Structures are given as C-alpha cells and as structure tokens.
Structure 1
Amino acid sequence: MKIAVSGKGGVGKTTLAALLIKYFRDQGKKVLAIDADPDANLAVALGVPHPEEITPISEMKQLVAERTESTPGKMGGFFKLNPKVDDIPDTFSTTIDGVKLMVLGGVKKGGSGCICPESVLLRTLVTHLVLFRNEVVVMDMEAGIEHLGRGTARSVDKLIVVVEPGRRSIETAQHVLHLAKDIGIERIVLVGNKVRSQQDREFLETNLSSLKFLGFMPFDEKVIEADLKGQAPYDLSPATMAAAKEIGDNLTKIQ
C-alpha cells in the first residue's frame, strides 16, 4: 500500500503519518516512512534521536551530482533526467523501531516550473517509491503534493487529506483536492483532526460532504506535549492512538 498524507501546515498531517506508520508496523508490515515536506519533522514525530543530524536527500550535493551527472552549484547546463535511484531508500535511510525513514527535503527554485537536478532526483525517487517498492510506503507530503507527478499519482493507493475544524483548513483541503484530481488521483479520503465536539465533526462533514471520512482524531494536549518533548505522539496519547487504529482499520478495509 502506498499512502500520501497532505493538508494545511499545522493541521496534524505529520502526527497522522507517524500514527499510521506505527499502525502498519504493529501489523507486521515492512514500512518505509518518507518525509516529503520541506518543513521536515516526521523524524521528530517518530521519536528519532537527534533528527537534526539527518541530511535530506536534496541537500546531498555529491549524490545529486553523481546521479544526475550535473555539476554542483552550477545553474543551467545538461543533466540526466532518469537518474538511478533504486538503491537510495536502503542506503540513505534511518531506521527507528524497525521502520526505515527517508527525508527528501525541499528544492529552492527561483520561479514556477523550474527543473533542476535536485527536483529531477526527488521526482524520480518518489516515482520509484510508489511504483516499485514492495512494502507499505507512507509519505508525509507538503500541502501542494509537489513531488507527485501525473504518472506516479495514479498509482497512489490513497491520498489522505487531514483537516481540522476551521475555514482555512477547509480551503486548503479543497485546494489539495483540485490539485489531486488534476494529476489523476482518484482515491482520496479525509481525516478530521483536533475535533473537540460533535459540532466540530458535523462542521467538517457538512463542508466536505463529497468525500469519505476515514475517521476523526480528538484534540489532545498530550500530542502537543509529545511534540515539545520530541517524543512520538503514540507514546503519550493513547486516545489519539486508538483513533488512529480505527482509521488504519478503515483504510485497509476500503483498499
């Protein structure tokens, strides 16, 4: 199963990604966790010691240069558009509790539509992860799902959009839904997070009535506490973990 998790910054998509990673690991699955958000913090959510020591793939200048046959730091010029990437997940990942984690990082670009060696390597790598890896892949995406191309997107088993009760979150979710449909993702589901009451739940269901909700996670101060302590949310928040288990069960049922 290949899963992409998206949503507005701060909505809890990384928390959900970490919880689903634990869910699948506890099911005995081989899991590859991918942090595809330039504001990377999945390592923290998984409880990786010293996450600041992880170098994102996009910042490995020598690797990018070797695989794309480009010159580090040079603008323009020719470079390889189909670099070798199949060994990268096993060679450049960090292992935590039996889960492999790889941080992709972001690409600084001066204008829209920019093609550079880093972006080509990341796009090719994500394509490999989705199409050719024989394990559960959970990708914590940025809101714009920028790393997914049209061909790759159609092979994503589920795009989970995380929303919280609030107009800005709803607007971001609708934007992600439009982007997803434009590149061919059809298997889109929602998860409500930071839900305090039945009223919050009804607000989300009313404003996003065209799509299925996998479940709802409660607002829990312990999730914030876990983030402050650099611990995985499932270590401190049993209620959130219970909700995530229900979401994971529903996810596998509708595969």
Structure 2
Amino acid sequence: MKIAVTGKGGVGKTTISGMLARLLAAEGHRVLAIDADPDANLASALGISEAEFRKITPIAKMKEEAEKRTEASGSGSYFILNPKVDDLPEKYCLEHAGVRLLSMGTVEQGGTGCVCPEHTLVRRLMKHLLIERDDVVIMDMEAGIEHLGRGTAESVDALIIVVEPGRRSVQTAEQIKRLAGDIGIKNTFVVGSKIRDEADGRFITGALQDIELLGLVSLSDVVREADLKGVSPFDIGGDVVDEIRSIKDTLFAKVAGAS
C-alpha cells in the first residue's frame, strides 16, 4: 500500500500521517514514512526526539552523494538519469517504533525548474519507493503533489487530502484533486480534521461532495499534549487514535474494493 497525504498547511496532515504510520507498524506492517514537506515535522509526529531528528540529512541536500551516484561531471552538465538508489532507505533512514523515516527535502530551484544531480536522485528514489518496494509507504507531502510525476503517480494506491473546516482549506483540496486527476491518481479521498462539532462535520461533507470521505478527526487535546511532550499522539492514546484507526480500516477496505 502506497499512501500520499497532502492538504493546506496547518490542517493536521502531518499528525495524521504520523499516526497512520505508527498504527500500521503496530499491526506488524513494514512501514516507511517519507517526509516530503519542506516544513519537515513528520519526525515529531512519529515520536522521534529533536536530537534524533537532527541526525537526518534530507536526500535533496546530499550534493556530494547525488553527484557521485549520477556520475556528474565537474560542470554538472552531464550525468546519468537512473542512478542506484535501492540502498538509500536503509542507509539514511531513522527507525522508531517500527517505522523507518526518510526525509526527502526540497531541491533549491529557479523559476524554470531544476535538472540537476540532487533533483535526479530525489525523483529516482521516489520512483523506487513507490514502484519497486513492497513496504507500506506513508508520504507526508506539502500542499500539492510536486514530488509525484506521471511515472510514479499511478503507483500511489491512495491520495488523502486533509481538510479543516474553512473555505481556503476546501479550495486547496479542490485544486489538489484536479492535479491528481491530471497525473493519473485514481483513488483520492478526503479526511476532515480539527472537527469541533457536528456543524464542522456537515461543512466538510457538504463542501466536498465530489471527493469520497474516509472519516473525521476531532480537535483533540491529545494532539496538543503530545506536541508539548515531544511524543506521538499514538503513544498517549484516546479517541483520536480510534478515529485514525477507523479511517485506516475504511481506507484499506475501499482500496481493496477498487482493485
């Protein structure tokens, strides 16, 4: 199962990504969590300490590694586009509670894009993770699908768009849905986050009727408590964990039914 999670900044997608990863690992799945958001916070959501997180170097920042693997020349003009990457997850991931975390990072680029060794390495690794490995992959993305291309999108079993009650969040979800369709992602779902009452739930379901709803996640003190303690909400437990578990079960059932 390959799952990408996205949504407008601040809606809770990283918390949901981290809890999905921890739940699946606790069930015995081999889980690889990919932090593909420039504002990298997935480590914290998994319960990894800040000291441990500092040991992680994003793949996009490994200039020397990228140049070596792509055999880039001194000028950087010529390099191979299919470098060896199958050993990178084991070499650079950080494991915690059965989840292996890999940080992709962002390649600095100008307005016309970047075709450079680092960009090539990230793209090739993404293809490897989504197409050539059997791990359960949970990918925490920024508010978009920039890390995915037509060559990898078809291997994403589900795109989860996390939405909070609010027009801007809904507009972002609609834009992401269109982009996902353009590159061939077939299974797109929505999760309502930070739900305070029934009115919030009705707003989400009413505003996004063309995207299938997996479930709702309540605005929870557990998430705030976990953040203050530097642990995962999964480690504290409570209703929010049960809500994410229900969403996970619904997701797997729907994907299995669509295959």
Give matches, 1:84-99, under 5 Å.
84-99=84-99
Deviations 1:157-179 (A, max 9, x none): 00000000001111111111111
> Match of 2:24?
24
Rounded to whole Å, the distance in 1 between the matches of 2:173 and 2:135 is 27
Percentage identity across paired residues of the two chains: 51
Rounded to whole Å, the distance in 1 between the matches of 2:231 and 2:221 is 13
Shift of 1:99: 1.3
Shift of 1:112: 3.7
The aligned amino acid for 2:157 is D
Rounded to whole Å, the distance in 1 between the matches of 2:107 and 2:227 is 26
- Confirm or deny: 8 A CA contact 1:220 1:237 kept in the other structure: no
Rounded to whole Å, the distance in 2 between the matches of 1:137 and 1:61 is 25
Aligned residues: CA RMSD: 1.4
- Confirm or deny: 8 A CA contact 2:162 2:192 kept in the other structure: yes
Rounded to whole Å, the distance in 2 between the matches of 1:127 and 1:154 is 11
Rounded to whole Å, the distance in 2 between the matches of 1:169 and 1:112 is 28
Normalised by the length of structure 2, the TM-score is 0.94
> Match of 1:214?
214
Shift of 1:71: 5.5
Shift of 1:86: 0.9
The aligned amino acid for 2:179 is L
Moved more, 238-247 or 77-86: 77-86
Deviations 1:67-112 (A, max 9, x none): 122258x6x5122211111111111111111211101111111114
The aligned amino acid for 1:55 is T
Q: Are the structure 2 counterparts of residues 241 and 71 from structure 1 closer, same or farther at C-alpha, using a change threshold of 3 Å?
A: farther
Aligned length: 253
Rounded to whole Å, the distance in 1 between the matches of 2:112 and 2:100 is 32
Rounded to whole Å, the distance in 2 between the matches of 1:71 and 1:204 is 52
SS of corresponding position for 1:160: strand
Q: Are the structure 2 counterparts of residues 237 and 10 from structure 1 closer, same or farther at C-alpha, using a change threshold of 3 Å?
A: farther
Rounded to whole Å, the distance in 1 between the matches of 2:31 and 2:112 is 33
Rounded to whole Å, the distance in 2 between the matches of 1:46 and 1:224 is 14
Rounded to whole Å, the distance in 2 between the matches of 1:63 and 1:164 is 39
Deviations 1:189-232 (A, max 9, x none): 11000001111011111110011111100001321232233211
Shift of 1:181: 0.8
Rounded to whole Å, the distance in 1 between the matches of 2:244 and 2:44 is 18
> Match of 2:190?
190
> Match of 1:204?
204
SS of corresponding position for 2:32: strand
- Confirm or deny: 8 A CA contact 2:35 2:103 kept in the other structure: yes
Rounded to whole Å, the distance in 2 between the matches of 1:67 and 1:140 is 26
The aligned amino acid for 2:38 is P
> Match of 1:172?
172
The aligned amino acid for 2:69 is R
Tell me, which stretches of 5 or more residues in structure 1 are unaligned?
A: none
Tell me, which stretches of 5 or more residues in structure 2 are unaligned?
A: none
Q: Does 1:56 align with 2:30?
A: no
- Confirm or deny: 8 A CA contact 1:193 1:216 kept in the other structure: yes
- Confirm or deny: 8 A CA contact 1:164 1:192 kept in the other structure: yes
Q: Are the structure 2 counterparts of residues 90 and 168 from structure 1 closer, same or farther at C-alpha, using a change threshold of 3 Å?
A: same
Rounded to whole Å, the distance in 1 between the matches of 2:178 and 2:100 is 31
Q: Are the structure 2 counterparts of residues 170 and 123 from structure 1 closer, same or farther at C-alpha, using a change threshold of 3 Å?
A: same
- Confirm or deny: 8 A CA contact 1:3 1:159 kept in the other structure: yes
Rounded to whole Å, the distance in 2 between the matches of 1:121 and 1:179 is 23
Moved more, 42-51 or 221-230: 221-230
